[in-house]
């Protein structure tokens, strides 16, 4: 049965569907020697290549799910030309994997990596309201007014952020739980209120807690995967 090129690359464990769409837009994907277009379908026996590399979809591929504690300075990209700071070279995992979402270079903490493109699409859909928890330190003391304003939403990038849970942990430190992922959202929210982020660490994604040392990773447990799949069971996906 023919499937769209982005789904083919995702199921082959090469990248997420969003990543595949970007590769197609950049003209880096060919099917039987012809440059692929968005939405082109792959039939059985077709030869798919990305920048000259043949991509084969194996039905026996083992799905990999890792929880990684990203250090400050590492870039969440699969582009290995970003050296020596890209996440793929840093982890040096023996099988091709890719990060689920992003954590910007100055930030640290939990990020998930996988070769399962389907789960990537479900988790990344902001409207699925999947929680991500962060601990943030600022350059100036905060007060109840700051906590309330952050909780009720802040105007950034031309939109008001969703209501979220914010709890003060110290004079300059707070915890925040987001269900959306705007570009550099927490930093922009703080900046709009006159603060600058000194440190930002993600400590949880949905039911997955950060529990490994900086720069280390572990496989998700069976229990974590069961709970994760249960919570994204009804998540919206991109169309096949």
Mean pLDDT of the chain: 89
**Predicted local confidence at residue 238, as pLDDT:** 42
Rounded Cα gap, residues 103 and 125, in angstroms? 16
* pLDDT range class, residue 112, cuts 50, 70, 90: very high
3-55 and 65-117+210-231: identical CATH topology: no
Q: Would you list the domain boundaries of the chain?
A: 3-55, 65-117+210-231, 131-205
pLDDT of amino acid 192 = 96
Q: Can you tell me the distance from the alpha carbon of 186 to that of 180, in angstroms, rounded to the nearest whole number?
A: 11
Q: Is 104 a catalytic residue?
A: yes
Query: What is the mean predicted confidence (pLDDT) over 118-127?
Result: 72
pLDDT value at 216 more than 90: yes
Longest Cα–Cα distance of the chain, Å, equals: 63
For residue 58, what pLDDT band results from cuts at 50, 70 and 90? low
- Report the CATH fold assignment for 131-205: Alpha-Beta Plaits (3.30.70)
Higher pLDDT, 18 or 105: 105
pLDDT at residue 135 is higher than 80? yes
pLDDT, tens only, 137-175: 999 999 999 999 999 999 999 999 999 999 999 999 999
- Residue 239's pLDDT is 38
Token couple for 166: 């914010």
Is the CATH number of domain 3-55 3.10.290.10?
Answer: yes
178 pLDDT more than 50:
yes
What's the distance, CA 138 to chain centroid? 24
Give 65-117+210-231's CATH code, choosing from 3.40.50.410, 3.40.50.720, 1.10.3720.10, 3.30.70.580: 3.30.70.580
Which residue in the list 21, 46, 79, 104 is annotated as catalytic?
104
Q: What is the pLDDT of residue 26?
A: 93
pLDDT category at 235 given cuts 50, 70, 90 is low
Element (H, E) at 146: helix 144-152
Within 10 angstroms of residue 205's Cβ, the number of other Cβ atoms is 22
């Amino acid at each position: 049965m023919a499937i769209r090129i982005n789904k083919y690359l995702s199921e082959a464990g090469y990248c997420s569907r969003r990543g595949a769409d970007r590769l197609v837009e950049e003209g880096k994907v060919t099917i039987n020697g012809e440059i692929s277009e968005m939405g082109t379908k792959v039939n059985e026996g077709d030869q798919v290549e990305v920048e000259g590399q043949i991509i084969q979809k194996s039905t026996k591929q083992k799905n990999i799910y890792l929880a990684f504690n990203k250090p400050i300075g590492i870039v969440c990209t699969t582009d290995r030309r970003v050296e020596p700071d890209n996440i793929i070279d840093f982890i040096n995992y023996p099988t091709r994997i890719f990060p689920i979402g992003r954590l910007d270079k100055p930030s640290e903490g939990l990020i998930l990596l996988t070769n399962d493109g389907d789960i990537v699409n479900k988790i990344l859909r902001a409207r699925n309201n999947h929680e991500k928890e962060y601990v943030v330190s600022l350059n100036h003391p905060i007060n109840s007014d700051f906590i309330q304003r952050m909780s009720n939403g802040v105007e950034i990038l031309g939109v008001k952020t969703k209501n979220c849970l914010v709890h003060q942990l110290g004079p300059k430190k707070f915890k925040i739980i987001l269900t959306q992922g705007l570009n550099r959202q927490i930093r922009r929210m703080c900046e709009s209120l006159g603060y600058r982020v000194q440190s930002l660490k993600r400590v949880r994604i949905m039911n997955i807690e950060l529990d490994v040392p900086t720069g280390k990773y572990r496989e998700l447990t069976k229990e974590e995967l069961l709970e994760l799949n249960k919570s994204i069971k009804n998540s919206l996906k991109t169309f096949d």
